[in-house]
Amino acid sequence: MLEFELKEREFEKIASIVYDHCRLNLRGGKKPLVEARLAKRLRALGMGTYKDYLALVEADEEELGMMITSLTTNHTKFFREPEHFEFLQKSFFPEVLEIGIRTLRIWSAGCSSGEEPYSIAIEMRESLPDIGRMDALVLATDISRKALRQASEGVYTVESVKNVPAALRNKYFSKSSAGGELLEVKPVIKNLVRCRHLNLMDPWPMKKGFNIVFCRNVMIYFDKVTQQGLVGRFQRVIRPGGVLIVGHCESLAGMGQGFRCVSPTIYQKI
Ligand SMILES: C[S@@+](CC[C@H](N)C(=O)[O-])C[C@H]1O[C@@H](n2cnc3c(N)ncnc32)[C@H](O)[C@@H]1O
């Protein structure tokens, strides 16, 4: 017997709200996940029924955001999918140096708690000796305000920083003033990253001109039509010759018009 009963019509209502807001598809077997994740929210709010909870979600945009955060997967880690960082190190940044590019814009779209944009910024700092005199930024966006808060703070457990090679860990992380066994990304890296709230389904306020867009392990949660629309929008904001990088379970198969496949997850705008 579940602590809170989620009636079929309430599940349908939640599924429509979430799909309309961020195109996350919960229909087709996700009811147990919704029950498990939202029961925690109901408990935290001291609510007894999903009817009351839905009334709150419909009246309060902040709770809608909390519900979306509870239902999305924020799993991430530093230097996840190392082949992408190898691409930056061995191919992309050497070209930046060779061509003499001075303005560099990289977008981590769906950055979660910040491990991805900070890994990119570390690689950037390591590969571009002149970075202090360049106009270089990593834009980090996510729909989850909770994840973004952590990204902006740049404070991580020792355990989660284990994936960073020791030499880079010693160079770019310091003991956090927040105490405990926490490490903080140093300002020299933080200053390269700008964290902003953005639902990818909304209009994008940024101008075009990205050299690289990382959108990894985000599109996998969207249906094909949404994925196609998003890839088209990325194509329009990436500079000619720029690159779109997706996650290892994703691909642009059948929707990569305007891109040349460099490797199964790396696409260059033609
Ligand atoms: C699994 S994490 C991936 C994090 C990182 N890109 C990586 O590969 O390690 C997926 C992220 O996408 C975000 N997300 C899901 N739907 C979104 C949307 N419509 N707009 C912006 N971000 C979204 C989630 O909040 C979550 O932080």
Q: Where are the domains of the chain?
A: 8-71, 82-269
pLDDT at 219 over 70: yes
pTM exceeding 0.85: yes
**Confidence label for 263 from pLDDT (cuts 50, 70 and 90):** very high
Q: Tell me the average pLDDT across 139-157.
A: 97
Question: Distance (Å, rounded) from C-alpha 135 to C-alpha 264?
Answer: 30
Q: What is the CATH number of domain 82-269?
A: 3.40.50.150
Ligand 1 centroid to Cα of residue 72, in Å, is: 7
Check residue 35 and give its pLDDT. 94
Q: What is the pLDDT of residues 64-74, one digit of tens each?
A: 999 999 998 89
Q: Which fold has domain 8-71?
A: Chemotaxis Receptor Methyltransferase Cher; domain 1 (1.10.155)
Check residue 1 and give its pLDDT. 61
Structure tokens at 192: 């390269």
Question: Distance (Å, rounded) from C-alpha 134 to C-alpha 164?
Answer: 25
Q: Tell me the average pLDDT across 211-225.
A: 94
DSSP-derived 3-state class of residue 74: coil
142 has catalytic annotation: yes
**Confidence label for 148 from pLDDT (cuts 50, 70 and 90):** very high
* Cα angle: 7, vertex 72, 233; to 5 degrees: 120
Q: Tell me the average pLDDT across 54-66.
A: 95
Q: Tell me the average pLDDT across 3-23.
A: 93
> Highest mean pLDDT range out of 144-158, 172-186, 247-261?
144-158
**Confidence label for 254 from pLDDT (cuts 50, 70 and 90):** confident
CB-side exposure of 261: number of CA atoms within 13 Å?
A: 10
Q: Determine the residue type at 241.
A: G
Q: Which strands form 173-175's sheet, in the order they lie side by side?
A: 155-157, 182-185, 173-175
Are 128 and 97 a contacting pair, CB within 8 Å?
yes
Question: Distance (Å, rounded) from C-alpha 246 to C-alpha 270?
Answer: 17
Ligand 1 centroid to Cα of residue 73, in Å, is: 7
- Report the percent of the chain where pLDDT is more than 90: 87
* β-bridge pairing 238-246 and 155-157: unpaired
pLDDT at 171 over 70: yes
Structure tokens at 184: 């903080």
Q: What is the pLDDT of residues 111-123, one digit of tens each?
A: 999 999 999 999 9
Whether 8-71 shares its CATH topology with 82-269 is answered no
Structure tokens at 176: 């956090």
Tell me which residues have their CB closer than 6 angstroms to ligand 1. 22, 24, 72-76, 80, 110-112, 116, 142-144, 147, 199-201, 216-218, 247
Catalytic residue among 23, 41, 142, 216: 142
Average model confidence (pLDDT) for the chain? 94
